[in-house]
Amino acid sequence: MDLLLDVGNTRLKWGLHDGARWRGQGAVLLSALDGFADVLAGLGEVHRMLGANVAGTTVGGRLGAMLASRQVIPVWIQPQAEGFGVLNRYTEPARLGADRWAALVGARALHGGAALVVTSGTATTADVLDAAGVFQGGVILPGLDLMRLSLARDTAQLPYSDGRFVAAPRRTADAIVSGCLQAQLGAIERMFRLVGSESNAVCLLNGGAAATLAPHLECPLRVVDNLVLEGLARMQAEA
């Protein structure tokens, strides 16, 4: 079995893959990372581990120690200039986030045409992948919850409170929720225009806020559970 890890800013997402299909997936908050030891204990025999880590060396070291206790050597991916059907046109390819690189590889594995690859987590990323598999570039913006938190933290009268999405809000709580959501939707839809003219173009959406964003997006859409894990599975298959 292969253990694949997507270590993000807030959560660790894991998947167990047998080379043909997923045998299990789950997530652990980084604030409760020690609990991953219990997950490992219940996974059975793991032969290889491949992961994307954007949480830093401290988290990577803690995970390495857990894996070492199971005699598993952790391998963390680094973005490449080209590989797995994707050409990386970042000005400095190695500086692309490992999670974004894996998501692009996952997108290419799942969809052969042009795609806007969107991950909506602590941050939202929207990356342009053309029909030839060329990553043309992308944007990073604060995620939906981070936008709301920044308003609560840095203003005196805009609290972090529950609201609902409405087209023309008449309550402050609704105005905050609707404004942050409209900002996310607008960024995604504007970025989709860069691939929208290509045949079979689609927005591939994943991440913790995907369920909130998806009903309101006005572009061809496919929601995927975890594009990073799908990309890691593709990489491991070709290792």
Dihedral-angle region of residue 111 (phi above 0 means left; psi in -120 to 50 means alpha; beta otherwise) = beta
- Tokens linked to 220: 């061809």
| Catalytic residue ranges | 99
Q: How far is Cα 175 from Cα 147, in angstroms, rounded to an integer?
A: 13
Which strand (E) or helix (H) includes residue 187?
Answer: helix 172-192
Buried b or exposed e, range 96-135, using 16+ CB within 10 angstroms: bbbbbbbbbbbbbbbbebbbbbbbbbbbbbbbbbbeebeb
Question: In sequence order, what are the residues at sequence separation of 6 or more whose Cβ sits closer than 8 angstroms to the Cβ of residue 90?
Answer: 79, 96, 135, 137
CA dist., res. 57 & res. 98, Å (int): 13
User: Residue 139: which H helix or E strand, with range?
Assistant: strand 134-142
**Is residue 176 helix, strand or coil?**
helix
Query: How distant, in Å, are the alpha carbons of 12, 29, 237 from that of 41?
Result: 16, 17, 24
Amino acid at 119: T
